[in-house]
Structures are given as C-alpha cells and as structure tokens.
Amino acid sequence: METSAEMTLREKVMKYVKQYVLITLSISIMSVGVYFFKFPNNFVFGGVTGTAALVAKLTPMSASAFSSAANLVLLVVGLIVLGKEFAMTTGYATFVMSVELMVFEKICPLSGPLSDQPMLDLLFAIALPAIASALLFNVGASSGGTDIIAKWLYKKRDIAVGTTGFDPQYLQHSIHFQFLNLTYLKSQSQLNDNVPKS
C-alpha cells in the first residue's frame, strides 16, 4: 500500500509534469505564430518579439538573437522581483521559445510571408500568441519579456495582468512609431542630399 507521503510526492510530480507539458505546448504555439506569421510580415505589436522584428529589420542582428538576449535580461529582473518559482517556469518558457525560434531559422529559413494574404497572416500572428499566453498565465507562467513587467506591476499594484500588459506595450508602440518616423525622415533627408542640384 502506498502511504500518503508517496501519494503526495506522486501528485506533486504529476502536477509539475502537467505544468511543463502545457508550457512547452503553449510556447510551441507561440513560436509558430511569431516565426511564421509575425516576423516575415514585419508585424510589430510591441513586447520583446515586436522589438526583435524591428531590430532585425534595422540591424544585422537576427530577431531570434535579440529576443533571446532581451528575454535573458528580463528573466534576471523577474527572478529578483517575482521569485524563484516564477523565474523557473518563465525561464523554461523563454529557453524553449529561444531554441524553437533558432531551430526554425535554421531548418525553415523564410524570405517572405507564407501567403499573399496579409490579413490572414495578421490573424494568425495575433491569435496563436494570444492563445499561448492564456495557456501560460493559466499555469502560472509567462513567455518572458514584457509579461514579466506586467506580472511585477500586478504584484505591486494589484492591477490585472491584461491591463498592465497594455501600458508598457502602448509606450513601446509610441517609441517604435517615433523611431520609424525618425528613420524615415533621415532616409528622406539623405535622398534629398544626393539629388543633383540644378
């Protein structure tokens, strides 16, 4: 006969196995949405992957390399402000996503969007990560990035994660928009400087 301690240990192990299986499944769903629909269409929604898409367009750094580096920094912040358990689940999720994005880059390099239907691609670029995020939050994890900031604000201010997730991304959208405007204006200025004067 099994003792209650053995049952408790078995239940704990099964709980962790279920949690990490769901995290892995969620991150796989998110990685497909990000790599196959968000990155090739240059959709920039905010968050780390939105910034990664922008960085990849404007610098020689790949989106997956930037995403990995930024998530690592934010994960350390999460460990400090949110604790070990959250950092472990989110660290695992961040690691899995970074590896999956790098693997996709190697085995399925994309030169452009999968379809000629940007609205359909946009639907998948939004829906897949949204479904994945809901699953992650349900098991007490996140995909890292700005979710860590949202969770910290929830812990400190008791503001719902969905609400806090909006504010940093709104700020980030504003910064992206201003940066793109400045980049455009600079390129236009350079073009005008190269036009021969008559």
| Residue 103: pLDDT over 90 | yes
Looking at residue 86, what is its pLDDT?
84
How many Å apart are CA 53 and CA 188, to the nearest integer? 22
Listing DSSP states for 149-196 in one string gives HHHHHHHHH---HHHHHHHHHHHHHHHHHHHHHHHHHHHHHHHHHHSP
Residue 162's pLDDT band (cuts 50, 70, 90): low
Comparing CA positions, the residue from 103, 97, 160, 51 lying closest to residue 89 is 97
Residue 159's pLDDT band (cuts 50, 70, 90): low
Looking at residue 24, what is its pLDDT?
96
Looking at residue 131, what is its pLDDT?
92
- Model confidence pLDDT, tens digit, residues 13-65: 999 999 999 999 999 999 999 899 988 887 777 788 778 878 888 889 988 78
54-58, 88-92, 151-155: which has the minimum mean pLDDT?
A: 151-155
| Residue 133: pLDDT over 80 | yes
Looking at residue 38, what is its pLDDT?
85
What distance, in Å, lies between the first and last C-alpha atoms of the chain? 97
3-17, 145-159, 166-180: which has the minimum mean pLDDT?
A: 166-180
Comparing CA positions, the residue from 51, 64, 126 lying closest to residue 97 is 64
The predicted model gives 125-144 an average pLDDT of: 87
Q: At what angle do helices 118-138 and 4-33 cross, to 10 degrees?
A: 160
| Residue 182: pLDDT over 70 | no
DSSP letter, residue 109: -
Looking at residue 142, what is its pLDDT?
84
CA 30 to the chain's CA centroid? 8
